[in-house]
Amino acid sequence: MRAVIQRVLEASCKVDGEITGQIGIGFMILLGIEEADTDEDLQWLAQKITGLRVFSDENGLMNKSLADIDGDILLISQFTLFAATKKGNRPSFLRAARPDKAVPIYEQMIKTLKMITGKEIATGLFGADMKVSLVNDGPVTIMIDTKNRE
């Protein structure tokens, strides 16, 4: 599982001109799911995301977590995070999980993040042509791959 986490002042997702999810300050997360992902990957990543201390404290240091600032999450499915670009110019997405595997994992990530944060999780629409807007704060962008934990 791969996640690109962006600290944002605001973010939203539209599908066919309709807003599917919108947040103020918090994280806009692009989530890629691969065939090899397990519930252990999901639980580890959810804990890592919610524990990240990347929000500024009173001294301007990145010492506060999402909970400390009462931030929100916009979670967007993003199979292209598993693009293989070694050969040629057209990316291959063979490592990305097919929808029958990815959708339940994506839905479980929403439930897990909701349970940890105690807040609703804003989302895109799995598999849709989404238009995502955000104001990156910092900018702070962090990439996490659950297969590179050590």
Which residues are tagged catalytic?
80
Strand segments, DSSP code E, in the chain are: 2-15, 18-23, 26-32, 55-56, 62-64, 72-77, 122-123, 130-145
Contacts of 136 (CB under 8 A, 6+ apart): 6, 7, 8
Single-letter amino acid, residue 68: D
The two three-digit tokens of residue 142, written as one number: 């962090």
